Structure 1
Amino acid sequence: MDVFLQYGVGLIGPGDAGPWKPGRDDDEFGGSFVRRFASEVQIGDVFLLRTGVSTLRAVGIVASDYLYLEQFDDVNGWDLQHGRRVRWYPLPEAYTFRDLVFGANPPRLSRVLNPEVLDYTERFLNSPPTDWQRAPLPKLPPEEPPLEDIPPDLPGLADLIGTARDLVPLLLDRQAFGEHPSEDELIAHFVVPFLRALGWPPECIAVEWQHIDVAVFRKLPRTPENCHFLIEAKRLGAGVEGALEQAKGYLETLGISRDIVVTDGIRYRMYSSERGFEPVAYANLVRLKPSALGLFKRLRRP
C-alpha cells in the first residue's frame, strides 16, 4: 500500500510474463485480472485501496493508460509490473464499513457495486478538499538493475543464490512439486545456510529457541542478553510482512529490544529496533538488486 501512495500508482501482477497485449491468453497472467486492468479500466475511473473485506485506506482517480513498469518487478516479493498512474488520497483514518462490502474473499481487482460503498465514494469525491484530484503525480522510482556480482568474500552466498534460483520455480509449481514446503523446510534449506554464508557458526544459530523460529547470538551462552537479532519465518510466497508483530511479541516476552528479520526463505526484510521497527533493508535471493548489499552488511557476523 505504501508503494502505491508514495509513487502514485496502481499495480497488479503477475508481471513476469511481460506486458499485456491484445491477443495474449489470460492463462499467461493467472486469470483475467491483468487483461481487465489493462483494457477495461479508463482514465478518470475511481480506485479504492482496501485492506481486508470491509476497510478502506485510500481513494484514487486513474490518471494514465496501462503501463508496464519494470521498476516494480519486486514489491515485497511480488512481481507487479502492470501499472496505472493514480492520484491517491489516503484517508486520515481507515474507514471500516459495517458489512463485508468487498466480499468474503475479495479478488485482486473487481468492480464495486455495493450501494454503501458507492454512496461513501461519491460523497468523498464531492467533499473538500478536492485539489488532490488534479495535483501533479509524484515521480516514479528509477529502475534498479540486477546485482551482477556477489561479494567475493561470501562464496557460500553465491552457491545459495544459485540454488534458490534453480529451486524456487519448482517449489511454487503445485502440479510438479505438490504442496508448498513448510516453514521448517525453508529454515533448514535456506535460512540457516544463508546465516552460515554470512559467517555465523552453528552454535550461534538457534532454531525454535523460546518459540522463536531462529535466534542469532553474538556470543555464548544462548541467553536473551546475548541475542543479536531474531528471524520469523513464513511459508514461501505467504507475504512476510505480517510476521513482524508476532516477532515483536517474542521480544516483549524476553524483555529485550532487538532487530527483526522476517522471511519466507527467499525474501528477507529487516526491521530496526532503534528506529521503531522501521524497515531498513531488504533482499530477494532470486531477484538480487544492489540494495541487497545493505542487508548482507547488516546481517553479517561482526
Structure 2
Amino acid sequence: MIRMDQVSYSYQKNTPAILNEIDLHESEPVIGAIWGRNGAGKTTLMSLLAGHNRPDRGTVQIMGQNPYNNLSAQGHLCYIQENHPLGRNWTIHDLVAIGSHFHSKWDQQLAKRLIDLFELPSKNKISKYSKGMKTAAQIILGLCSNASVTIMDEPTNGLDAEKRKLFYESLLETYENNPRLMLISTHHIEEVQPLCETLIVVHQGKLLYHHPMDEMRERGILLTGSNRDVEQASQGARIIDTTRIGTTSKVLIDDVYSQEWTTKAKDHGLSIDRASLQDYLVNVTRKQEEVSV
C-alpha cells in the first residue's frame, strides 16, 4: 500500500538531510502510529508519502504509484495536516461538499453523524471555530474520505478528553467498516496504542523502529531496589535510564519483559514492572542521542 526505499530529503541543497535512507513498507490495511520527538522528521516523512514533496534520493510509492504531482495516486490518498489548510470562508457543510467531490468513497452518513457528535455549528465559518472545533472538522475530512491511505498528523490536537474518546471510537468504527491503511502521528501514544497494530518511530531522520505494537508494548523493564541489588541484577543489560534516591535505585532496561527477568528480579529481591510505552520511547531515543554524540 505504501513503500519508501532508501528515501532521503533535505529542504535546501547543501544542508543536512531531514530524512536519511528511509525504508518503510506497509502492504496490508492496518492502523499505525507514527511517533517521534520534535524535529525527528515525522512530518517530513508524511509529506513525502502524501506527495507534497519529492525525495532527493530514493523512491516513494502509494498503491504502486509515485504520489508526487500525480492526480491518479492522489485519488488513493487523504493527508490531514496538523493545521490543515481550509478555505477561509468555508462552513462545515462546505468542507463536506468539497470532501465528497475529491474523495470518491466519501461517507456522507458518517460526516453528518460526526458533525452532531462534535457539536459543530453549521452556520459559523470554520475559521472562527475554536481550536478543538477546527481539529474536529479536520477529523471529519480524514475519516469520511475513506481513502485507501489516510494519514493524520496530530489529529487530537486541541481536543478535550471526551472528544478524543469520540475520535478513537469513530476511527475504529470506520476502519472496521472499511479496512485501509491509516497512519496517525501523535504525542499521545498511550491513548492511541490500544488502537494500533503497528508503530513507526522516527528519530534523527532515521527509521528507528517499525514493529508490531504488541512487540513494542513488551519492551522496557523497570527494576527497583537497593543500589547493590539493582546493579548486580542489571549487569550486562542495556540501561537507558537510572534514578537514585539514597540507597534505592530504579533502572529502565531496554529489553523484552520476560519470565527470565521476573525470576532474576525475585532472586535479587527487586520489584519489577513494565515501563509505559511513552517512557520507553522517550528514554530509548535519548540514549540514541547520547551514543551518537
- Bin the TM-score by the shorter chain: under 0.3
TM-score by length of 2: 0.25
